[in-house]
Amino acid sequence: MTICYCSLHARLFIWAQHTWADFPRETIMKIQRYYNIIRSTRGEDPSLGVVEAACDECIQSIQYIYGTALNDIDSP
Ligand SMILES: [Zn+2]
């Protein structure tokens, strides 16, 4: 199972609820280390691991920055 995690905002995507939630960085680092151990003992499994992803807060920030930039462009 792949875990989607935003390290910038320390948020984890919960697949069952299709939502993002705060999740401690220390815990995700432990999970990543466990995955690395499993990979080293069983071989590479691309479906297993933690992937960096843009969370809901990333999207809101991008939308805000993009909207501000569009307003600046539209302003006379
Ligand atoms: Zn984020």
pLDDT, residue 43, reads 73
Distance 34 CA to ligand 1 centre (A): 23
Distance 73 CA to ligand 1 centre (A): 26
pLDDT tens digits, the chain, 76 residues: what are they?
A: 789 999 999 999 999 999 999 999 999 999 989 888 888 887 766 567 899 999 999 999 998 888 887 777 776 6
pLDDT, residue 46, reads 59
* Closest CA relative to residue 10, chosen from 43, 48, 58: 58
What digits encode the pLDDT tens for the residues 17-31?
Answer: 999 999 999 999 999
How remote is the C-alpha of 40 from its chain's centroid?
A: 24
Asked whether 12 and 4 are in contact (CB, 8 A), the reply is yes
Distance 26 CA to ligand 1 centre (A): 16
Distance 60 CA to ligand 1 centre (A): 9
Distance 12 CA to ligand 1 centre (A): 9
